[in-house]
Each structure stands twice: as structure tokens, then as C-alpha cells.
Amino acid sequence: DDPDIVRPILEANWIFLGPGSPTYAAKQMRDSLALDMIAARHRLGATLMLASSATLAFSALTMPVYEIYKVGQDLHWQNGADFFAAFGLPLVVIPHWNNTDGGDELDTSRCYLGRDRFGRLRELLPPDQTILGIDEHTSLVIDKAAAECTVLGHGRVVILRNGDRAEFNSGDTFHPEVLGQWRLPADGAGIRADVWQEAQAVHSRLQAEEASEPTPPDEVQALVTARTEARAADDWDEADALRDKIAELGWQVKDTPDGPQLELLEN
């Protein structure tokens, strides 16, 4: 809730939340300034990536994995951040759906709870609750603009809803209505007004800055690609020659951990 700490979220193109304690994350995120900023930035086009416990924390109800699996508490659910409610999706996401860490002696699927315990835990949910199980090394991409879900990775996703079961394998696509009463929220709906206004102002500034940045022509881009290939083949003389050609066209190429980047030469 400290604006000086969370304000950079409004400039992010990619927001990632990952491993940890689902119940702790849900408790900290609910009704927080950070969650409103994440929602606002996501509405304005940023990619939101959730992994492991973050998928549980952003669900309508959170499965308390540590409390049940490690501490031994009775089966129960706790409130989650319910992030997907704005899109009409009352999701309960269960990562590590096909986990096998327990080997032959202990069923650790269903995010370590096992089929039996998870079946009993599921009986505590409302009948219309959508459960989204995601295998390990697998992701479900929800493209809200295209209204399309795509499964990527090595496994599958399993959807349990209203007594029905659906499975989708890597490469499969389906409409978000499979997950619930899909809808796109109105601008700023469910987000505090001051956060939404600030997010829109930052978004407009970022768009203006991007539009003012010069774009390298195709010829320069092709030379950069050829230089990258030359460097990969250890042909350093050719790579240097290509770098000089790029400079002659008014651009400087810089090698970074994220790949080559181009800057316009001032003169």
C-alpha cells in the first residue's frame, strides 16, 4: 500500500507473481493499492503472468496448501483475491495438477493434496464453482482482446464446472466462456477512481514516448540479424563489418543480455 513502492507497476508491460504461500499472498493482496494498480495496468494492456501459489492467491477461493499439507489443519478454503471476477470468471486455479514429487508412496497431485483429499475438499465448494487445474510445465494464456484461451507447454489443463469435466492439451484453444460467464469489464470497473485516473495518465505518457521514438528501417534490422548470425558462428570480422554498415546508416548496435539493441546516432 506504499505508493512509492508500488507505483512502478503502472509503467510495467509484464507483471509476474510466483511461488510462496497462497494464503499469505491473498491476505496481503486483497483490497491493496498494489492489486488495484495491477488490475488497472492489466486492463490497459500489460501482460499478467501468475505461477504456482500466485494462481491460487488470485483465485476466488484459495486452497491453503501449507496449512493442510504441512501443518495438518482440517480441509477448508480461504478467500482469495478473486482477480478474475471482473471478467465473469469465479475461478479456483489449482497449479501442479499432475505433480509426482511423492513418488509411488504418496499422491502429491492436485497441488500436493492428492486426489482423495482434493475430492473431499472440492465437496466444500459451491456447485457452480469453476476449478481450473493446470499441469506442471504448462500454461494457459487468456487473451482477453481476442477472447481466446490457449494451452502451451508439456501438459494439459482440466476444467471442472457444474459436474462437467473438460480437458485441453498443449496447442488447443477454446473460448473463455468454457470457464464461466465471460465478459470484458467496463473501463475502471472495480478499481478505485484515483488509481484508474493515474493509470490512464501514465499509459498516455508511455504511448506518447513510444510514438516519439524513431523506428529502425527494415534494412538496418536485417543487418542486425545478419550480425547476430555472424557472431553466433564466431565470424567476428563479418560481425564488425556489419556493425560498421549499421553505423553508416545512422544507428549504433549495442549487445545486451536481452539481445542487440539499436540507438539512433545523433549525427
Round to whole Å and give the CA distance between 100 and 87: 33
Kindly give the pairing relationship between strand 156-161 and strand 148-153. Answer: unpaired
**Statement: the pTM of the whole predicted model exceeds 0.95:** no
Average pLDDT, the chain: 94
Mean pLDDT for the stretch of residues 190-201: 96
Tell me what percent of the residues of the chain surpass a pLDDT of 90. Answer: 88
Mean pLDDT for the stretch of residues 74-91: 95
The tens digit of pLDDT for each residue in 214-254 reads: 888 999 999 999 999 999 999 999 999 999 999 999 999 99
Round to whole Å and give the CA distance between 9 and 147: 24
Round to whole Å and give the CA distance between 217 and 164: 52
Collect all residues with Cβ–Cβ distance below 8 Å to 34 and sequence separation of at least 6.
1, 6, 9
CB neighbour class for 37 (10 Å; exposed up to 12, middle 13-18, buried from 19): buried
pLDDT at position 142 over 80: yes
